[in-house]
Amino acid sequence: MEASDLRIGNYVWRTNKHTSDKMLIQLTASCILDISSNGEKSSFIYEPTLLTEELVKRLCYFNELVKDWGKREVNEWEYFNRYVFYNVLDGTSNLEIHAIHSKYGDSNNLEFCLSIDENERQGCEEIKYLHQLQNGVHFLTNQELEIK
């Protein structure tokens, strides 16, 4: 995780190297400066928050702009659940989060992507971490995505 990938307000895990205390924090300017200036010499370890469907559901449940739009079959080996931010782009277009599931193999192996007015997987930008989702939503909508 590079400092250039982060914004103030992003959620990341921070572990104190001396006490091993680990907590989910919202980044401040001083945290980003610590990451970029001190790197490995910092007193803290900063790690990205892996995106899970449960986390996406929490974000959607507490955000009035987002609705769970349910399951959609893509093909014989995968399906995705759609979470839609309605009319957030130019007042008419939707931003969608797709949680892509494999019908075979490891059920915990999910892929996530952001899509604009797309019903299919094509055109999705793959995301893996919460800060990537926050940054994508902010870039496209100028709104903050917060965890409650």
- At 83-111, the pLDDT tens digits run 776 666 666 667 777 777 665 655 555 67
Q: What is the pLDDT of residue 42?
A: 94
Asked whether residue 119 carries a pLDDT value surpassing 70, the answer given is no
Distance between CA atoms of 13 and 5, rounded to whole angstroms? 15
Q: Where are the beta strands (DSSP E) in 1-148?
A: 11-16, 22-26, 44-48, 66-73, 78-89, 93-102, 111-116, 125-127
Distance between CA atoms of 131 and 48, rounded to whole angstroms? 7
Query: pLDDT-based confidence at 22, cuts 50/70/90?
Result: very high
Where does the chain have alpha helices with state H? 29-38, 53-62, 130-141
Of 89, 97, 88, the closest CA to residue 64 belongs to 88
**Structural tokens at position 56:** 């996406």
pTM (2 d.p.)? 0.76
Could you tell me the sign of the dihedral formed by the alpha carbons of 112, 51, 116, 140, in that order? negative
